[in-house]
Structure 1
Amino acid sequence: MAQAAMKERSRRWRRRLFVGAGVLGLVGLTAAGLVAWLVADIESRLPIPPDPAAVATSTVVLDRNQRLLRPFTIADGRWRLPARQADVDPRFIAMLIGYEDRRFADHHGVDYRALGRAAGQFVAAGGRIVSGGSTLTMQVARLIEEAPTRSASAKLRQILMARTIEHHLDKDAILDLYLMLAPYGGNLEGIRAATLAYFGKEPGRLTVAEAALLVALPQSPEARRPDRFPDAARAARDQVLDRLVATGVVSAEEAQAAKRDRVPTARRFFPMHAAHLADQAVAAAPDAAVHRLTIDRDLQTGLEALARDRVAAVGKRASIAILVADHHTGDVLASVGSAGFLDDARAGHVDMTRAPRSPGSTLKPLIYGLAFEEGLAHPASLIDDRPTGFGGYAPQNFDGDFRGTVTIREALAQSLNIPAVVVLDAVGPARLLARMKRAGITPELPRASATGLAIGLGGVGVSLRDLVGLYAALAAGGEAVPLRSTFGEAQGDGRAAAGSSVLTSSAAWQVADILADVPPPVTGSPDQIAYKTGTSYGYRDAWAIGFDGAHVIGVWIGRPDGTPVSGVSGATTAAPILFEAFGRLGPHRRLLPPAPADVLVANTASLPPPLRRFRHPDAAVVAEDAGPQIAFPQNGVAVDLGIRFGDPEPLAIKVRNGAPPFTFFANGVPLARKPFDRTELWQPDGAGYVTLSVVDASGRSDRVTVFVE
Structure 2
Amino acid sequence: MLKQIKTYVRLHPKRLVVLGILLIWYLFSLPKPLFNDPTATVIETKEGELLGAKIAKDGQWRFPETNSVPEKFKTCIIAFEDQQFYRHPGFNPIAMVEAIRENIKAGMVVRGGSTITQQVIRLSRKGKKRTYFEKIKELILATRLELGTSKEDILKLYASHAPFGGNVVGIDMAAWRYFGLQPDQLSWAESATLAVLPNAPSLIYPGKNQTKLLEKRNRLLTTLLKQKKIDSLTYDLAVHEGLPQKPYFLPQTAPHLLDQLAKKYNGQRIETTIDIRLQKQVNEVVRQHHEIVKQNEVHNMAVLVLDVDTREVISYVGNAPTDKNHQKDVDIIRASRSTGSTLKPLLYAAMIDKGELLPEQLVSDIPTIIAGYNPKNFDESYSGAVPANRALARSLNVPAVRLLQQYGLQRFRDELNAFQIKGLKYSADHYGLSLIVGGAEGSLWDLCKTYTGLASTLNHYQNTSSEYFTKEIVEPVVLAKNKVDFGKKVSEKQNYGAGSIWLTFEAMKKVNRPEGDEAWQFYDSSREIAWKTGTSFGNRDAWAIGVSQKFVVGVWIGNADGEGRPELTGLNAAAPVLFDVFNLLPKTQWFAAPYDDLIEIDVCSISGFLAGSNCPNKKTYTSPLGAKTKSCPFHELVHLDIKQQYRVNSSCESVANIIHKPWFVLPPLQEYFFKTNNASYKSLPPYRSNCVRETQEKMDFIFPKANSSVYLPKGFDGKTNELILKIAHTNPETQVFWYIDDKFIGTTKQFHEMPVLPKPGQHIITVLDEKGNELKQRIEVKN
Shorter-chain TM-score tier: 0.7 to 0.9
How far does the alpha carbon of each residue in 1:558-578 deviate from its partner, in whole angstroms, 9 at most, with x for none? 011111133221112111111
Q: Distance in 1 between matches of 2:300 and 2:531?
A: 21
Matched, 1:509 2:512: no
Q: Which TM-score applies when normalising by structure 1?
A: 0.74
The equivalences for 1:544-563 within 5 A come to: 544-563=544-563
Amino acid at match of 1:554: G
* Alignment pair present for 1:310 and 2:313: no
* Letter paired with 1:592: F
1:175 partner SS = helix
Cα distance in 1 for residues equivalent to 2:220 and 2:44: 34
2:308 and 2:551 in contact (8 A); partners too: yes
Q: Deviations over 1:675-697 (max 9, x none)?
A: xxxxxxxxxxxxxxxxxxxxx96
Is contact 1:118-1:132 (8 Å) kept? yes
State the distance in 2 between where 1:135 and 1:347 align: 51
What do the CA deviations read for 1:580-632 (whole angstroms, capped 9, x no partner)? 22223234x343232433243766428433355699xxx99998552599x9x
Equivalent residues of 1:227, 1:267 under 8 A apart: no
The 3 A distance-change label for structure 1 pair 164 and 600 is same
For residues 46 and 137 of structure 1, the distance between their equivalents in structure 2, rounded to whole angstroms, comes to 17
Q: Deviations over 1:192-240 (max 9, x none)?
A: 1211322333322321121011101111112333487656544443343
C-alpha displacement at 1:317, in angstroms?
5.6
- Structure 2 counterpart SS, 1:309: helix
Q: Write the distance in 2 (CA, Å) between the matches of 1:136 and 1:638.
A: 89
Could you tell me how far apart the structure 2 residues matched to 1:226 and 1:46 are? 43
**In structure 2, C-alpha distance between the alignment counterparts of 1:540 and 1:232, rounded to whole Å:** 60
Relative to structure 1, the CA distance from residue 291 to residue 449 in structure 2 (aligned partners, 3 Å threshold; closer, same or farther) is same
Equivalent residues of 2:448, 2:553 under 8 A apart: yes
CA distance in 1, matches of 2:208, 2:149: 36
Q: Does 1:91 align with 2:72?
A: yes
Question: Compared with structure 1, are the counterparts of its residues 637 and 319 closer, same or farther at alpha carbon in structure 2 (3 Å cutoff)?
Answer: farther
In structure 1, C-alpha distance between the alignment counterparts of 2:39 and 2:441, rounded to whole Å: 41
Name the CA distance, whole Å, in 1 between partners of 2:669 and 2:87. Answer: 93
Aligned to 1:485: 477
Contact 2:196 / 2:216 at 8 angstroms: preserved in 1? yes
1:388–1:624 Cα contact (<8 Å) kept: no
What percent identity do the matched residue pairs reach?
Answer: 30
Q: Which residue of 2 aligns with 1:528?
A: 528
Give yes or no for contact 1:469–1:481 (8 Å, CA) kept in 2.
Answer: yes
Indicate conservation of the 8 Å contact 2:725/2:753, yes or no.
Answer: no
RMSD value, Cα: 4.4
2:611 is aligned with 1:608: yes
Q: Is the 8 A contact 1:87 1:204 kept in 2?
A: no
Match of 1:365 in 2: 345
Structure 1 position 260, deviation (Å) = 3.2
Aligned partners of 2:77 and 2:26: how far apart in 1? 31
1:15 aligned partner: none
Deviation per residue, 1:538-557 (Å, 9 max, x gap) = 11111001101122111100
Contact kept? 2:203, 2:210, Cα under 8 Å: no
Q: Report the counterpart of residue 382 of structure 2 in structure 1.
A: 402
**Are the aligned partners of 1:83 and 1:191 in contact in 2 as well (CA < 8 Å)?**
no
TM-score by structure 2 length? Answer: 0.67
* Other structure's SS at 1:245 match: helix
Distance 2:370 2:724 in 1: 16
Map 1:136-151 onto structure 2 (within 5 A).
Answer: 136-147=116-127, 150-151=130-131
In structure 2, the partner of 1:375 is 355
Q: What secondary structure sits across from 1:107 in the alignment?
A: coil
- Residues in 1 aligned to 2:240 and 2:441: alpha-carbon distance in whole angstroms: 59
CA contact (8 A) 2:298 2:565 kept: no
Which of 184, 189, 193 is the aligned partner of 2:164? 184
Question: What residue in structure 1 maps to residue 593 of structure 2?
Answer: 594
- Structure 2 distance, partners of 1:384, 1:118, is 95
Bigger Cα displacement from structure 2, 203-212 vs 235-244 = 235-244
The answer on whether the counterparts of 1:230 and 1:265 sit within 8 Å (CA) in structure 2 is: no
**Quick check: 1:387–1:624 contact (8 Å CA) kept in 2?**
no
Aligned residues of 1:376 and 1:611 also touching (Cα < 8 A): no
Report what 2:770 is aligned to: none
d(CA) in 2 for partners of 1:471, 1:421: 21
SS at 1:269 equivalent: coil
- 8 Å CA contact retained: 1:148, 1:154: yes
2:215 maps to 1:213: no
* 1:277 to 1:596, Cα distance in 2 relative to 1, 3 A: farther
* 1:355 corresponding residue in structure 2: 335
Match of 1:300 in 2: 279
- CA 1:431/1:490 → structure 2, altered by over 3 Å: closer, same or farther? farther
- Structure 1 pair 378/209, CA: closer, same or farther in 2 (3 Å)? same
Equivalent residue of 2:243, what SS? coil
SS in 1 for 2:241: coil
SS at structure 2 position matched to 1:219 = coil
Quote how far apart the aligned CAs of 1:513 are: 0.7
Please say if 1:699 is aligned against 2:753: yes
Structure 2 distance, partners of 1:52, 1:59, is: 20
Q: How does 1:406-417 map to 2 (within 5 A)?
A: 406-417=386-397
Structure 1: tracts of 5 or more residues without a match: 1-36, 640-654, 661-695, 704-709
Task: Check the 8 A contact 1:332/1:483 in 2, yes or no.
Answer: no
For 1:474-526, what per-residue CA distance to the aligned partner results, in whole angstroms no more than 9, with x for missing partners?
323477422233558897999xx999733222221111111122243345553
Per-residue displacement from partner, 1:216-269 (whole Å, max 9, x unpaired)?
A: 111111233348765654444334323433443333432332233333333333
Structure 1 residue aligned with 2:93: 112
Structure-to-structure mapping, 1:163-562, within 5 angstroms: 163-226=143-206, 233-284=213-264, 289-315=268-294, 318-340=299-321, 343-444=323-424, 450-477=430-457, 480-487=472-479, 501-524=494-517, 526-562=526-562
What do the CA deviations read for 1:384-409 (whole angstroms, capped 9, x no partner)?
A: 43333334333222122233443222
Task: Tell me the distance in 2 between the aligned counterparts of 1:232 and 1:634.
Answer: 85
CA shift, 1:75, in A, is 4.2
Distance in 2 (CA, whole Å) between partners of 1:548 and 1:160 is 64
Q: 1:298 to 1:603 in 2, by over 3 A?
A: farther
1:234 and 1:433, CA in 2 relative to 1: closer, same or farther beyond 3 A? farther
Summarize deviations over 1:392-435 as a string: whole Å, max 9, x none. Answer: 33322212223344322222222222222222221122222222
Secondary structure of the corresponding residue to residue 321 of structure 1: strand
Structure 2 runs not aligned, ≥5 long? 1-18, 459-467, 521-525, 613-629, 636-666, 671-699, 729-749, 758-783
Tell me how many residue pairs correspond in the alignment.
607
Higher strand share: 2
